[in-house]
């Protein structure tokens, strides 16, 4: 584990050194990076979505965010969360050992911080270029699972990713504290498609327990135990987890848990 941590630190340093902070990423470069195969020694990552109009539910982009009947049937919400046996845990991190193990950081500033009661949490921020971090160990066997974590948005919003090949492909759930909006998206390295958008109140500066489930072709997003939105999708079948956010935003994370939902 220590060896992996050191290796990842080196990778992170190398990755950061090739990307001067403050320099915008050209879409063509991002697409090239996205096309890199995942089995090379160099980790795959990109700036996920380039066009912010497809990312953030602005007034002009809102019409495109609504699910359509052709490819984004939204399933009927249910009142209860899927029960998860504790023995199905795949990953857990509370940062109380003052370490962040097995995460690959790409862009932005990610640091451990302590609250007044001594609890340690992870803080992500950065001026631009989508600060992002990805679970770095092999998650190729992760298919049906729940990614639950406590999330506190100080500013902006957060993209929570599942079935991810780091930044190259993933499903995400976007939570916007500014306008109380949640929405799914999938990204295949080239195309970013949103679906399943719903209004849902999200308070700034408050811990929310966010649980993003994927089971077969079903996506379900729970916030503080309440089903915020759900949808069906068949774009991705396996992969790990990650977070990213827009530039200039600040989000806190704690108590990360991944549970298998496989039968």
Contact 157, 245 (CB under 8 A): yes
Q: How far apart are CA 217 and CA 177, in angstroms?
A: 27
Angle at CA of residue 213, ends 174 and 218, nearest 5°: 95
Nearer to Ca ion, 173 or 256 (CB): 256
Residue 221 tokens, joined = 């997003």
Q: Which CB atom, from 213 or from 254, has the smaller least distance to Ca ion?
A: 254
What's the rounded Cα separation, in Å, for the pair 151 and 257? 12
Of 121 and 187, the one with the shorter C-beta distance to Ca ion is 121
Q: How far is the CB of 39 from Ca ion (least distance, A)?
A: 34
Angstrom distance (rounded) from CA 181 to CA 56: 9
Residue 150 has a CB neighbour count (10 Å cut-off) of 18
Least separation, in Å, of the C-beta of 96 and Ca ion? 5
The contact set with Ca ion (CB under 5 A) reads 94-95, 119-120, 254
Based on CB atoms, which residue is closest to Ca ion, 113 or 262?
113
CB of residue 122 vs Ca ion: minimum separation in angstroms? 8
**2, 153, 194 from 172: Cα distances, Å:** 29, 16, 9
| Cβ at position 118, least distance to Ca ion in Å | 9
In the bound state with Ca ion, the residue whose beta carbon lies nearer, of 62 and 113, is 113
Cβ-Cβ contacts under 8 Å for 32 (sequence gap 6 or more): none
Instruction: Output the six-digit token pair for 242.
Output: 């990650």
HEC profile for 188-199? Answer: CCCCEEEEEEEE
- Rounded to the nearest whole angstrom, what is the least distance from the CB of residue 120 to Ca ion in the complex? 5
Residue 42 CB, shortest distance to Ca ion, in Å, is 32
Looking at beta carbons only, is 94 or 101 nearer to Ca ion? 94
As a whole number of angstroms, the longest Cα–Cα distance in the chain is: 50
Give residue number: closest CB to Ca ion: 94
Nearer residue to Ca ion within complex by CB, 152 or 236:
152
Joined together, the tokens standing for residue 185 give 């998206």
Distance between CA atoms of residues 220 and 123, nearest Å: 25
Beta carbon of residue 255, minimum distance to Ca ion (angstroms, whole number): 6
Instruction: Look up residue 107 and give its two tokens.
Output: 């862009």
């Amino acid at each position: 584990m220590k060896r992996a941590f050191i290796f990842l630190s080196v990778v992170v340093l190398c990755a950061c050194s090739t990307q001067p902070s403050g320099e915008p990423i050209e879409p063509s470069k991002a697409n090239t990076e996205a096309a890199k195969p995942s089995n090379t020694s160099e980790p795959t990552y990109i700036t996920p979505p380039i066009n912010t109009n497809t990312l953030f539910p602005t007034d002009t982009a809102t019409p495109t965010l609504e699910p359509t009947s052709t490819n984004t049937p939204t399933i009927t919400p249910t009142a209860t969360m899927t029960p998860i046996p504790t023995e199905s845990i795949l990953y857990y991190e509370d940062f109380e050992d003052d370490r962040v193990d097995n995460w690959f950081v790409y862009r932005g500033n990610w640091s451990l911080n302590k609250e007044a009661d001594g609890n340690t949490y992870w803080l992500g921020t950065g001026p631009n270029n989508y600060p992002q971090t990805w679970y770095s160990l092999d998650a190729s066997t992760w298919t049906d699972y729940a990614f639950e974590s406590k999330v506190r948005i100080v500013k902006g919003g957060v993209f929570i990713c599942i079935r991810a090949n780091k930044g190259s492909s993933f499903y995400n759930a976007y939570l916007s504290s500014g306008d109380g909006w949640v929405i799914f998206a999938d990204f295949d390295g080239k195309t970013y498609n949103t679906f399943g958008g719903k209004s849902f109140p999200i308070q700034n500066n408050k811990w929310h327990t966010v649980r993003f489930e994927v089971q077969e072709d079903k996506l379900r997003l729970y916030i503080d135990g309440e089903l915020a939105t759900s949808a069906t999708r068949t774009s991705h079948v396996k992969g790990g987890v990650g977070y990213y956010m827009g530039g200039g935003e600040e989000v806190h994370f704690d108590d990360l848990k991944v549970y298998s939902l496989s039968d």
